[in-house]
Amino acid sequence: MERQIMVAVLLFIFSTTMLIESVSSMSLSITSHWNQTGHEITQFQVAHSSEAAAEGEVVPWQLNITRGDAESSGKNSSYLYLSGALTVKAKAAPASDYEFFPLVGRYKLHTTGKTWVEAYNICEHERAHLAIINSETEAKVLQGIFQRAPKPKEVQFSNIAFLGFTDIVTEGNYVTIFGENIVDAGFAKWNTNEPNNYGANATHPGQDCGALEKASGLLDDGTCFHKFAFFCEQEL
């Protein structure tokens, strides 16, 4: 029985909130062949270019492929069909007021106090994330920013700033916002007598959100619903 391939790219969906014009071109290639064991191998490759990509920023995309068999009416053959949906979400340009440190990262210290969740959302809005310290060098960079910044306002305490890690899920197991243990992330040096989960009792959750201590440049734990300064980080 003759076997053919019918390729149907059904839909390219561009879902965007801002700057959709930044996606300038996109291509999809599909190749298929039989290997030595008699299995058919189909490969997909997607390439796209945009102003954002040219500037080193990533425009996220997702490709979903459905594969199936269908009989051809009136013909002595069967068809393999492939349908695909490519979703691209273009984001707004990243905030430009971040300080750049070569080979380390881009950072911004917000000195108006916010809860940890509020801080998380603000960083996301700026196309960044709550900062994660991966080395002593990075810790020193953040400490330097903190020490020369204006005194934080509308905060519970002015000597710590939220970072992107917590032990909300399991007490004592501190993981980053990406699910990685802080030891594996590269920096887990705590300030003296920290973490202490201060205030934890039957009616109070204690201190579950990670922070940087200004004077020492080491880690501290803070109460998530208290308001502190916070660091946002844009990836290189």
Rounded mean pLDDT, 200-206? 72
Locate the domains of the chain by residue range: 2-88, 99-234
Structure-model confidence comparison of residues 198 and 111, the more confident one: 111
Rounded mean pLDDT, 85-95? 57
Q: What is the pLDDT of residue 87?
A: 53
Peptide bond into 195 cis (omega under 30): yes
Rounded mean pLDDT, 70-89? 53
Lowest-pLDDT choice from 97-101, 121-125, 193-197: 193-197
Q: In the chain, pLDDT over 70 holds for what percent of residues?
A: 59
Average predicted confidence (pLDDT) for the chain: 77
Q: What is the pLDDT of residue 163?
A: 98
CA 101 to CA 98: how far, in whole Å? 10
pLDDT digits over 141-174, tens only? 999 999 999 999 999 999 999 999 999 999 999 9
Contact (CB, 8 A) for 106 and 231? no
Structure-model confidence comparison of residues 225 and 64, the more confident one: 225
Per-residue pLDDT at 41 exceeds 50:
yes
Rounded mean pLDDT, 205-233? 95
DSSP state of 14: E
Rounded mean pLDDT, 63-81? 53
Q: Does domain 99-234 have CATH number 3.30.2130.30?
A: no
The strand ranges marked E within the chain are 2-14, 23-34, 40-50, 61-71, 77-88, 99-101, 105-114, 129-130, 160-166, 175-176, 209-213, 219-222, 228-234
Which has the closest alpha carbon to 155: 89, 109, 95, 105?
109
Q: What is the pLDDT of residue 131?
A: 98
Per-residue pLDDT at 43 exceeds 50:
yes
Per-residue pLDDT at 116 exceeds 70:
yes
Rounded mean pLDDT, 25-37? 62
Structure-model confidence comparison of residues 44 and 130, the more confident one: 130
Per-residue pLDDT at 203 exceeds 90:
no
Q: What is the pLDDT of residue 152?
A: 97
Per-residue pLDDT at 50 exceeds 50:
no
Q: What is the pLDDT of residue 145?
A: 98
